[in-house]
Amino acid sequence: MKAVIQRVSEASVTVEGAVVGAIEKGFLVLLGVMDGDTEADADIMAAKVAKLRVFTDENDKMNLSVTDVDGEVLCVSQFTLCADVKKGNRPSFTPSAPPAEAQRLYEYFMERLKAEGVKNVAHGVFGADMKVRLLNDGPVTILFDSQTWIRR
């Protein structure tokens, strides 16, 4: 499982001209589910996102998590994070999970974020053509890969 986590002042996702998910202060999480990922990947990814300390404390140090600041998360599925670009110039998406399994784990990941204490988890529409708007705060952008923590 791969994720791009961006600290935002606000973010929204629009499908067919309608806003389907929006947050204020928190994280925009772009999530890619790889073939072979399991609930264990989603569990550790959700825990790491919820506990990632990149919000500033009273001393202007990045020391607080999204749950510490009552922040929100906008989660957007993004299979293109799973792209293989080793050969040629056209990415291959064969490393991504099959759509049904990817959607199941995407939804499971969002439930795990809630279980980790994130007060509001908004989301896009799995598999849809989405327009994402964000106001990156910092900017702070962190890349996560569950393979960092899970060895198969």
Catalytic sites, residue numbers: 78-80
Distance CA(53)–CA(37), nearest Å, equals 25
Task: Reply yes or no on whether the pLDDT at 91 is more than 70.
Answer: yes
CA dihedral 97→4→107→49, nearest 10 degrees, is 130
What are the residue boundaries of the structural domains of the chain, listed by start? 2-148
Residue 152: pLDDT band by 50, 70, 90 thresholds?
low
pLDDT digits (tens, 9 = 90+) for 118-149: 999 999 999 999 999 999 999 999 999 998 88
Single pTM value for the model: 0.95
Burial 121-149 (b: 16+ CB within 10 A, else e): bbbbbeeeebebebeebeeeeeebebeee
Find the mean pLDDT for residues 10-39: 98
Cis omega before residue 139 (within 30°)? yes
Fold (topology level) of 2-148: D-tyrosyl-trna(Tyr) Deacylase; Chain: A; (3.50.80)
Q: What tens digit of pLDDT does each residue of 16-25 get?
A: 999 999 999 9
16 residue type, one letter: E
Torsion of CA 74, 77, 82, 87, to 10 degrees: -110
**What pLDDT does residue 52 have?**
98
